[in-house]
A and B are shown apart, each in its own frame.
Chain A
Amino acid sequence: MTHAGGYIADSRTRAIEWLPWVLAVLCYFIAPSYLPLGSYVLTMIIFALSLDLILGYGGIITLGHSAYFGTGAYAAGLLAVHLTGEPLLGLLAGTLAAGLLGLITGIIILRTRGLALLMLTLAITSLCFEVANKATTWTGGVDGLGGFTVQPILGLFKFDFFGKTAYLYCLAALFVCWWLVRRLVYSPFGASLTGVRENNVRMHAVGAPVYQRLVISYTISAALAGLAGALLTQTTQFVGLKVLSFELSGELMVMLILGGVGRIYGAFVGPLVYLVAQDYLAKQFPEYWYFGIGMMLVLVVMFARGGILGIIDTGLARLRRKPA
């Protein structure tokens, strides 16, 4: 079964679900020189989680999720430039701004489905990108938005040069997001999203307000994406136009598919494998690294539709069958 929730599902946290957190904390001690990469991976995991909520559970295919990530990133950046560098307020601003945009755009575009919807998500990202590109007085255009400082978290923990604080900050944010998404996915609301993905027509026929459900899930997802964007702004102290680009949306989709769609932890595995591979390949083969990424995706799509976690699932199932 591919869905996590439902009325017969056991929602208690399994032991293995603590593994990513143990590994993440271990990384902090073992690989201090990789903490900036680690922060980025954690940020992208939040972003991927937000996509998994609508793609994996609601079945909304989008290539425009960077619109919300970028909105969150710019909202946090603008707040830091003009008002305050308080990081938690920045996260809140990014989350709310992206959530609001998600609500408004969701109301408009979720009336469509399939290809039309895909095109509309693309259009929204492109619109946002162009707005940020032209509004140079606010966003700095192609030069990006920088020159702001982020205050210590809660007035206590300063962002340090080695990215230690940033890493733990991202980890804490991810933990909260994971907990929320997990709650949501196992809830009746999450179950109804699975219903919409599995059979939209039948969901209508059992009296579900399908459109409203999709709009709300889309809004929540956009808000989470915005939070991830705000995190990136604060940990890198810079906002570039790339945060609103279609390429980022595509990359995110690739990461999630690589990890496995509709299972929460695919959003953990995908960005980790993708970004670490990218980091490694870019060092080894500076000119051809994209080839390696491409190969990985081709292999997954051809042989393992469930992504890396899907492969592990089938492997475990086989192991279990043998001794019996």
Chain B
Amino acid sequence: MSAAMETRNLCKSFGALTVADQINFRLDPGARHALIGPNGAGKTTFVNMLTGRLAPTSGQILIGGEDITALGQAARVKRGLGRTFQINTLFPNVSVVDNVAFAVAEREGVAWRMFRPASVYRHVLDESMALLDTLGLADDARLAVAGLPYGKQRLVEIAIALGLRPSVLLLDEPAAGVPTLESHRILEVLDALPKDIAILIIEHDMDVVFRFAQRITVLTQGAVLVEGTPAEIAADHHVREVYLGERHV
């Protein structure tokens, strides 16, 4: 079976500075995979290369076995790649349901239609509403996103990505900035995500990582340090040295 997403010898350098060094990474279909590493390890660069915001210097990126290295962001989304952002990247003055509907409309291919009102496309609205309902946001559907509490905005982040029905979902610190008291709600949502989506989560919060992930990849200085199950990672002395040391020793 081909990987949901895969990178081969992926490199990125800015002049003499190498921020991604021969990254070979494989995300299996339906995986729950975490990418961790200290600040500056190159996690964000890696994600930006996966989504197409940043072109790699060399190497390959594949989705479902297809080489997508040369494709732009939109084309990758069409092939099933969805993402959320570490810092809320929403449509603030637009209602919650329209935030999701924008994504659904793009996937459904109606977003070029110019003549009939958007409200005529009921299936877009209905699907967006149903999605909000599963995330417990139905009551907030008609409010502007900017007025929502931060924790709920984080859920809208996920809702927009789910509106794309991705086969691969990149979650960039989904619980970032959320108070611990509210983060359990986000964890619940993460646990309930459809099992057929391959998920790569980038996260600093080790509680989230060890609760959610079935595999963990540790990145340091742009290269893969080690990959393994949570138990293996927790026991690895390299990892403890460079990363977990501060917290777990």
Residues in A lying within 8 Å of B, measured CB to CB: 1-3, 5-11, 183-184, 186-192, 194-195, 198-199, 201-210, 213
Contacts and interface: CB of A to CB of B under 8 A. Distances in A.
A184 to B, nearest CB: 6
B14 to A, nearest CB: 21
A84 B83 CA distance: 57
Interface of B: 51, 53, 73-74, 76-78, 83, 85, 89-95, 97-98, 101-103, 105-107, 110-121, 124-125, 128, 141-142, 144, 160, 163-164
B74 A195 contact: no
B74 A208 contact: yes
A208 B119 contact: no
Contacts of B85: 201-202, 205
12 contacts: A7-B97, A8-B95, A11-B120, A187-B113, A187-B118, A191-B111, A205-B77, A205-B89, A206-B106, A207-B106, A209-B74, A213-B111
Contacts of B125: 7-8
A2 B97 contact: no
B51 A2 contact: no
B115 A3 contact: no
Contacts of A3: 93-94
Contacts of A2: 93
B102 to A, nearest CB: 5
A228 to B, nearest CB: 20
A50 to B, nearest CB: 15
B83 to A, nearest CB: 6
Contacts of A202: 85, 89-91, 160
Contact of B115 (A187, A199, A201): A187
A6 B118 contact: yes
B114 A184 contact: yes
Contacts, number: 133
Which one of B78, B83, B101, B141 has the highest number of Cβ atoms from chain A below 10 Å of its Cβ?
B101
Given A188-B121, A207-B73, A199 B111 contact: no
Contacts of A6: 94-95, 98, 101, 118-119
A189 B119 CA distance: 12
A9 B118 contact: yes
A194 to B, nearest CB: 7
Which one of B77, B102, B144, B160 has the highest number of Cβ atoms from chain A below 10 Å of its Cβ?
B102
A7 B91 contact: no
Contact of B144 (A1, A11, A208): A1
A204 B82 CA distance: 11
Nearest to A5: B118
A191 B102 contact: yes
A115 to B, nearest CB: 21
Contact of A186 (B90, B92, B117, B141): B117
A189 B113 contact: yes
B174 to A, nearest CB: 15
A213 B113 CA distance: 11
Contacts of A1: 93-95, 144
A207 B79 CA distance: 10
A8 B98 contact: yes
B117 A205 contact: no
Given A206-B103, A207-B78, A7 B93 contact: no
A11 B106 contact: no
A7 B121 contact: yes
Contacts of A206: 77, 102-103, 106-107, 160, 163-164
A191 B77 contact: no
A206 to B, nearest CB: 4
A201 B111 contact: no
Contacts of B163: 206
B117 A194 contact: no
A188 B95 contact: no
Contact of A194 (B76, B94, B128): B94
A9 B90 contact: no
B73 A188 contact: no
Contacts of A7: 97-98, 101, 105, 118-119, 121, 124-125, 128
Nearest to B122: A7
Given A3-B94, A187-B118, A199-B92, 20 more contacts: A1-B93, A2-B93, A6-B101, A7-B105, A7-B118, A7-B124, A9-B117, A10-B119, A183-B114, A187-B113, A188-B112, A188-B113, A188-B124, A192-B111, A194-B91, A198-B93, A204-B73, A206-B103, A206-B160, A207-B107
Given A8-B98, A206-B164, A187 B51 contact: no
